Structure 1
Amino acid sequence: MEVKHQVFVSSTYRDLVEERKEVIHALLELDCIPAGMELFPATDEDAWSLITEIIDGCDYYILILAGKYGSTNSDGVGYTEMEFDYAVATGKPVICFVHENIGDLSSSKVESSEVGKERLEKFRSKAQLKHCKFWTSPHDLGGKVSRSLIQLKKKHPSDGWVPGRYAADQNMLSEMERLRSRVIELESLANENSAPKDFDELIGGEDEYKIAWNLFVDSEGNSENINLSATWDRIFSYCGTALVGECTSQDLAQKIRLVYFHAIPKEYRDFNKFERIVLYKNCEDQICVQLQALGLMTTGDKKRSVSDTNTYWKLTPFGEKYLIKVRALRRSSSR
């Protein structure tokens, strides 16, 4: 009779979404049952009791470490490290996968504080005392998990789980199907709420986009071509509020014009009127393409009359979070 094994996958989450997907797929291909806290719905039970209960029910434990130490308890110990320590203390067969070179990771995926870096380095050293492999990419990680788990199962045989068709009742089968659906749902949600894979490689944030406009420079009507600059975050902060409920291309263009009207130097502001500002089509198109590439907006999907030929735009789920980030009021750092 074929035996299936349950494997607890422990890691930080937000910075390792793609890596966890590769590992989960690798485990499923090996007929293993992946387990991890993001796969389970919230309960009223004590969180740590639930974690230990799940680890106890698993046959093997996998640790994935990259550039983040992760959230900590009140004593400053990371939850991922607590899971690792518990698995080791209870004699669970453990295998660790540590990123080979943290310097290759983007700044958003590494610890920024000295305290976080120190904690991570100590954890990496501890993990390397166990059976450890180094990885460089999600695909590389998935392959190494597959090969390593085969060897781990041979070295540490486990009773595992009996397939449902032999021992599970209908309730068990329904629960398994529910959990599979939950995995798919969470993976889809993570993709929708995450930045595009190449987000850090794209021009955006505090990078500037310049547009040359012919402006009046004095009360005599003399004009000059002047470069007006606005950061991509500033452009999005103006456009984002219109995108909340979907807007037309014309509405979006008006917001972009307003950004650059406010970028006119003060000494020329009184000589130029907003109505005179013209947004060139190629500039409008470039801004629209860039906001889409950054994963901040997409085409609208509300039902409208057949006679409505306007193009509509709306925020993406990631765009909604990013808009809050760039528009939210913050306390002064000087306090």
Structure 2
Amino acid sequence: MLDKRYQVFISMSGSEMQPERIILAQTLVGMGFFSWGLEQRTPLSTAFARRQIDDCDYVVILLGSQYGEQSVSGVGYMHLEYIYAVTKQKPIIVFMHEDPLSRDLSLQDQKPELREKFLEFRKLLQQEADQIFTYRSMRDLEMAVRFNMPQMLERYPVSGWVRPQNTQLLHDEIDQLKVKIEQLETEVGKREVDPFLTLPKVSMHEVFAFEYRMHAYQDGNFKELKIQKKLTWAQLLSILGTMFLHPTPEEYFSKCMNEYLNDNGLADARLEMPRAHAVARSQINIRALHSIKMQMRQNDWIIQSGRDDRQRMLWHLTPKGQKLLESNLLDNNRVFQFNSSY
């Protein structure tokens, strides 16, 4: 069996969580994980933390009873690291204290505004995180890590790190996976009933409602907003179509939509923050993005076209989709042209 190691980025509020961090790091090392993280945060360390998150396989949020150090924008560094990990679609697992108000007062935020931010962040994690586990004692934390981290490997498999002398085994595993992929794609192609065929086709001017998140900036601060957006399928085809004139990796669905939302989200933000002057980090809901992709496939506007040399699934516009894109049907709905140099 191939001997793999995985890199984990640990995000926590600050020094008051150092005992928990030691237990967490020691447990992870004993299980074959490498742990990263920053104990001291400054505006200059933010870029370094992001590079670590980019390079890691999993992100662990360790939440006690404090919101933690804040950036100049007033948002905690731990909160920012969580947002960045979400935008990078990193697998996230949260270990939080079961009853933070029962902890020693010296371990809790003293300022009311920080206590409020902590409770809001804790609630956000409870609503958004798929993998979240509570603990009361150090022993609880250790057992929670030992039990749940192996399950993370099964639910969110990643490439990990392999010793150089094991690269031949890795190549053999890749070849085996390629064969399995070809077999699965062949089986899917032979199925008489495709689950996506149960989707009803839509007309060009039907409206699709979806949710996305963004950072809106106002008066020197920013706030994360959850926006409800409506676009017609003609608009969605106009937004995405030009990107897929040629076989293009699947990840460009999200890149294309998020850039559109960044460029056009200021009006949405001003409905809640009238003085907002800029928006950034727009992120379409993953389920909504999947629905868009599958609906366009069902309407015969896009089609899969194999994989590239990095084994990324490729999609491209069908002749039907290209004809619609070039017709006058979309002229009144062309609201965005994706940057082809992305």
Band the TM-score falls in, shorter-chain normalisation: 0.3 to 0.5
TM (norm. structure 1) is: 0.47
Structure showing greater radius of gyration is: 1
Q: Which has the higher strand share?
A: 2
